[in-house]
Amino acid sequence: MEQRLTLITLGVTDVKRATEFYEQKFGWTRSTSSNDHITFFLLNGIMLSLFKRSR
């Protein structure tokens, strides 16, 4: 079976700030499935998700 990486999840302290960073720094566009609690970026077959992590 061929192994592939398809989803990366990152826990962040501030979802809005982290989302803005990736949008501004890399020019990435968030998925329409995103909301205030989680952001998704589709990147050439890999999905990056940002969510609020608990301390």
Q: Are 50 and 39 in contact (CB under 8 A)?
A: yes
Please report where in the chains the tokens 């592939």 appear, as a residue: 4
Q: Nearest Cα to 41, choosing from 24, 54, 53, 28?
A: 28
pLDDT band at 1 (very low <50, low <70, confident <90, very high): confident
Strand order in the sheet with 38-43: 7-12, 46-52, 38-43
pLDDT at 5: 87
**Domains with residue ranges and CATH for the chain:** 7-52 (3.10.180.10)
pLDDT at 54: 82
pTM: 0.86
Q: How far apart are CA 2 and CA 4, in angstroms?
A: 7
